[in-house]
Structure 1
């Protein structure tokens, strides 16, 4: 393996406290190990409602988070909330990305966009979704994916109201939730919520389901590496990381 490229320096804006420990874990699992700088952003309410998520992903919240990342020598930045990007639609996401790129002068993206790109990268035309969110929020994720001609053949919503509760789900619960929503006619299973721990279990999830599994923290990290041109094939992080187009 060549050690010519310097380790990636990645910035993440993460709302509140839930499964943010997935990011330093990912940083330690890739070769060469990546430098992770994570800033917690604030919000008015921890709730999976369109209103609360829109406030959480607002330009003012992201701008304040970006200020804390200024001068940290990061090479890319991610807004790591799936729902607090897709609920705002494509225009809202474009505004989030523009805000971060202007303030930090590095490539930026959001977890929702990372899902769309990751689905394309593994060539999955049809997907199943196991969402922890309430039904109305989960439906907006389907609508978001439709913009990219990604066909959702199955959508389950677990109806969990807060990120804090999602973060307490243990390995067995997550694997059982994935298994219950795996579909033979889907090319991949998507589990969209950055509040959900998943990184330590990616291999187990794919073994259990027999499918490529894309999780929010996994695709966010993949996108961060892709943005700064330091995405290389990795093992132990699911099929998404195995072959780099």
Structure 2
């Protein structure tokens, strides 16, 4: 049994992780601890309080007791808000507090794009343009070229959590551009686990969503590979050797 630790701000799409756990198989356990969200707002600066060391450390003890082998902070906004170096420091602090390998959803996107060999991506963000642009800057700092950014302008996690298949597919299609080798959906308040395969079939390319990538990143830290076709190309392809 491999236990994965997820620190999740709030509660808006936490049920996505139970769905992902079911798709991964019986020997993977996804342990989720909800951290206190400062406010339900998607301003570019809103995640700063949510990602404070005190809030993250408060959630770590439960994961340690659960036997988690790795921990991932499941908030793209809360993990890229302080730029590339600040995000590294945040992960180092989290690893020290947990006594476990640690990462974040934002780093997970960079690592997942490399895994797929996707050097150029399109970003389909449900929130404001300012926050989407900061995320795109983070990807660029990680060596991932961003071919285009489409932001839907939703201002609360509750709004995003209410999106279904139609809204998700429409935004992904609107964001996709010629030359993009993958489409990225960066929000853990967004229910996407049920739609990954549908999106990939509609777009004809890999799709990386925040909750899918968060769990994949935890598996990477735990040195586990799992074949789960319903979770898309990221969970079915052999790793790409970077040159």
Mapping 1:7-86, distance limit 5 Å: 7-86=1-80
Q: Which residue is 1:134 aligned to?
A: 128
Instruction: Please give the alpha-carbon distance, in whole angstroms, between the structure 2 residues aligned to 1:124 and 1:60.
Output: 35
For the pair 1:97 / 2:91, whether they are aligned, the reply is: yes
Do the aligned partners of 1:18 and 1:195 also contact (CA within 8 Å) in 2?
yes
Q: Which residue is 1:192 aligned to?
A: 186
* Cα shift at 1:94: 1.7
Do the aligned partners of 1:27 and 1:33 also contact (CA within 8 Å) in 2?
no
* Cα shift at 1:38: 0.7
Q: Which residue is 1:149 aligned to?
A: 143
Do the aligned partners of 1:17 and 1:164 also contact (CA within 8 Å) in 2?
no
Do the aligned partners of 2:38 and 2:47 also contact (CA within 8 Å) in 1?
no
Do the aligned partners of 1:18 and 1:164 also contact (CA within 8 Å) in 2?
yes
* Cα shift at 1:232: 2.9
Any gaps of 5 or more consecutive residues in structure 1? 1-6
Deviates more, 1:86-95 or 1:147-156: 86-95
Considering only aligned residues, what root-mean-square deviation do their CA atoms show, in Å? 1.2
Mapping 1:120-131, distance limit 5 Å: 120-131=114-125
* Cα shift at 1:151: 1.2
CA deviation vs aligned residue, 1:47-80 (integer Å, no higher than 9, x gap)? 1123321111111110111123231110111100
Q: Which residue is 1:177 aligned to?
A: 171
Q: Which residue is 1:217 aligned to?
A: 211
* Cα shift at 1:208: 0.9
* Cα shift at 1:223: 0.6
Q: How many residues align?
A: 239
Do the aligned partners of 1:231 and 1:244 also contact (CA within 8 Å) in 2?
no
Instruction: Please give the alpha-carbon distance, in whole angstroms, between the structure 2 residues aligned to 1:148 and 1:44.
Output: 27
Do the aligned partners of 1:13 and 1:39 also contact (CA within 8 Å) in 2?
yes
Question: How does the TM-score come out when normalised to structure 2?
Answer: 0.94
CA deviation vs aligned residue, 1:154-198 (integer Å, no higher than 9, x gap)? 101111111111100011110111112222211010010000001
Do the aligned partners of 2:150 and 2:174 also contact (CA within 8 Å) in 1?
no
Q: Which residue is 1:3 aligned to?
A: none
Question: Which of 216, 227, 234 is residue 221 of structure 2 equivalent to?
Answer: 227
Do the aligned partners of 1:213 and 1:238 also contact (CA within 8 Å) in 2?
yes
| Ranges of 4+ aligned residues in structure 1 off by more than 3 Å | none
Any gaps of 5 or more consecutive residues in structure 2? none
Question: How does the TM-score come out when normalised to structure 1?
Answer: 0.94
Do the aligned partners of 2:45 and 2:81 also contact (CA within 8 Å) in 1?
no
Instruction: Please give the alpha-carbon distance, in whole angstroms, between the structure 1 residues aligned to 2:27 and 2:149.
Output: 35
